[in-house]
């Protein structure tokens, strides 16, 4: 090292950041990281305002997550619910999975981490209904069946014989903990594969698909499609009928005629600012 040089070591960034949650008045943003070939790179990261990201969670009791894809926070108890498909391995940026494709629940205050849903092929998007009594999960199995397909599940990248399903679960409390029960088909995508999913305050369910954003009411009746030429992978519902849609290399803004409010995705007990940035929960 040259005389007078000052050594400086940078911290690695977040590997392939994906969905995140934050809210008006919150002190940071919670993100998913799909990871890279290195160990401990996929998980949940919290980025406080003006500070480096904090690794909250990167493994299931010693076994690395696959490619954490989407996360939502329970509006009451602050627990984090997230999906972990195996798309990183199939798209050649993660090593062979050490875990099945699960849906998890993690509570930052207690460190309690558990599997709340299995038997899904490639769980992707996740959201709560407006009363937090229902959880919706998209299964993107058709999209990633052969690996390396289009992010939106176009006809050339999707296997239409496999799942492109939105499942609904009931949230059941037993012994002070929440469980998912009564798995059922809520809806099936019209085109491609459902990825991101959101629910508004009226209980309507929105899913990003190959034709745009498909919308159903709480009873699973199709209300319509917000058509976007290249389809939609991720999106958010804002307030006063605003939506922001991610479509390949484009960002779309949509304003609905009917006023719409998003169901909560950031709970009343946000991830605390007091987390030690040099410490991981697990």
102 vs 143: CA distance, rounded Å: 17
Domain for residue 28, yes or no?
Answer: yes
Asked, for residue 6, whether it belongs to a domain, the answer is no
Q: What is the pLDDT of residues 97-155, one digit of tens each?
A: 888 999 999 998 899 999 999 999 999 999 999 999 999 999 998 875 454 444 444 43
Residue 244 is assigned to a structural domain of this protein: no
Is position 263 within any domain? no
pLDDT in the model for residue 36:
72
Structural domain that includes position 161: 17-191
Cα separation, 207 vs 196, in Å, equals 6
Tell me whether residue 164 is in a domain.
yes
Strand locations in 85-122 (E): 102-106, 113-117
- Rounded-to-integer distance, Cα 152 and Cα 166, Å: 15
Cα angle for residues 167, 139, 112 (degrees, 5° grid): 80
Asked if residues 202 and 215 have their Cβ atoms less than 8 Å apart, the reply is no
Q: What's the pLDDT score for residue 235?
A: 92
Three-state secondary structure call for residue 191:
coil
CATH number at residue 67: 2.120.10.30
pLDDT for the residue 102? 94
In-domain check, residue 166: yes
pLDDT tens-digit series, residues 224-243: 999 999 899 999 888 778 89
Phi, psi of 33 (to 5 degrees): -120, 125
Q: What does the pLDDT look like over 9-43, one tens digit per residue?
A: 445 555 665 666 654 446 778 888 877 777 777 78
Contact yes or no for 10/29 (Cβ under 8 A): no
Asked whether residue 266 is assigned to any structural domain, the reply reads: no
Q: Which two tokens stand for residue 39?
A: 């160990």
Q: Count Cβ atoms below 10 Å from residue 202 Cβ, excluding itself.
A: 12
Number of domains in the chain: 1
Count Cβ atoms below 10 Å from residue 112 Cβ, excluding itself. Answer: 12
Tell me: pLDDT of 206 over 90: yes
pLDDT tens across 36-68, in order?
777 777 789 888 888 888 888 989 999 989 889
pLDDT band at 181 (very low <50, low <70, confident <90, very high): very high
Please state the length of the chain. 282
- Evaluate whether residue 238 is within a structural domain: no
Angstrom distance (rounded) from CA 163 to CA 135 = 18
CA 80, 84, 87, 92 torsion: positive or negative? positive
- Count of other CB atoms within 10 angstroms of residue 57: 24
Which residue is listed with tokens 């401990």?
Answer: 40
Average pLDDT over every residue of 57-81: 91
Contact assessment for residue 54 and residue 28, using Cβ atoms and an 8 Å cutoff:
no
């Amino acid at each position: 090292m040259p005389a007078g040089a000052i050594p400086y070591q940078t911290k690695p960034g977040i590997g392939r950041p994906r969905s995140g949650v934050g809210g008006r008045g919150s002190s940071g943003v919670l993100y998913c990281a799909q990871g890279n070939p290195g160990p401990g790179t996929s998980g949940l990261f919290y980025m406080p305002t003006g500070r480096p990201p904090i690794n909250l969670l990167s493994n299931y009791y010693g076994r690395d997550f696959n490619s954490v894809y989407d996360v939502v926070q329970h509006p009451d108890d602050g627990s984090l619910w997230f999906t972990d498909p195996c798309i990183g391995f199939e798209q050649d940026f993660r090593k062979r999975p050490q875990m099945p494709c699960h849906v998890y629940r993690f509570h930052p205050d207690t460190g309690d981490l558990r599997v709340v849903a299995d038997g899904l092929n490639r769980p992707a998007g996740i959201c709560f209904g407006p009363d937090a009594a229902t959880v919706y999960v998209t299964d993107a199995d058709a999209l990633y069946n052969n690996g390396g397909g289009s992010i939106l599940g176009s006809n050339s990248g999707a296997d239409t014989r496999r799942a492109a399903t939105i499942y609904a679960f009931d949230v059941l409390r037993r012994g002070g903990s929440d469980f998912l029960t009564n798995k059922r088909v809520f809806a099936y995508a019209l085109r491609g594969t459902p990825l991101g999913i959101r629910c508004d305050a009226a209980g309507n369910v929105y899913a990003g698909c190959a034709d745009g954003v498909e919308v159903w009411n709480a009873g699973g009746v199709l209300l319509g499609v917000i058509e976007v030429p290249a389809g939609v992978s991720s999106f958010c519902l804002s307030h006063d009928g605003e939506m922001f849609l991610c479509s390949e290399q484009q960002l779309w803004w949509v304003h609905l005629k009917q006023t719409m409010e998003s169901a909560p995705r950031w709970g009343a007990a946000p991830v605390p600012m007091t987390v030690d940035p040099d410490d991981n929960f697990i």
